[in-house]
Amino acid sequence: MKRPLQVLLIINGLIWIIYGLGFIFFPELTGISQQFADWPGNGAFVYAVLGICDIVPACFFIMAARDPLGNLSWVKFAITWGILCGLTDLFCALKGYVPFSQVELFFIIDMIFAAGYLIFYPWRGARDKSR
């Protein structure tokens, strides 16, 4: 179970690093890709800050992949991150803040990774380690 968890952490981390770099260095393109045609002039600043908020945990996901059993807190964080990001996407769509088509891709990605983390979480290893 360790290997699939490592792969998930690395792939998820890489996705968020790439996306975060897009927010920082290509905010207009990232905004267009998310269907934000009209956004305020200070939107680039907000996107840059959001990019950092994506990159930092993503780096820790990748570092945790070296030893998932020794970094269970980061695995738990990744699970929580995926679930909360997905639920936030869904909430914003249900409230009408954005159309679901705007958040659909990341809702699916977040839920797939959260489910994968839960499936491959070392439940027995975590229990043994806590003794």
* Domain positions in the chain: 2-121
Measured between alpha carbons, how far is 102 from 31 in angstroms, rounded to an integer? 11
Between CA 33 and CA 55 the distance in angstroms is 19
50, 16 Cβ separation under 8 angstroms: no
Q: Is pLDDT of 43 > 80?
A: no
52: pLDDT strictly greater than 90: yes
Tokens of 13: 């981390």
Q: How much is the average pLDDT of 23-38?
A: 75
Residue-level pLDDT at 47: 85
In whole angstroms, what is the distance from residue 126 CA to residue 40 CA?
Answer: 46
Q: How many CA atoms lie within 13 A of 28 on its CB side?
A: 1
**Residue percentage of the chain with pLDDT more than 70:** 85
How far apart, in whole angstroms, are the C-alpha atoms of residue 9 and residue 22?
A: 20
> What is the residue-averaged pLDDT of the chain?
88
The answer to whether residues 86 and 118 touch, using CB atoms and an 8 Å cutoff, is no
Q: What pLDDT score was predicted for residue 42?
A: 75
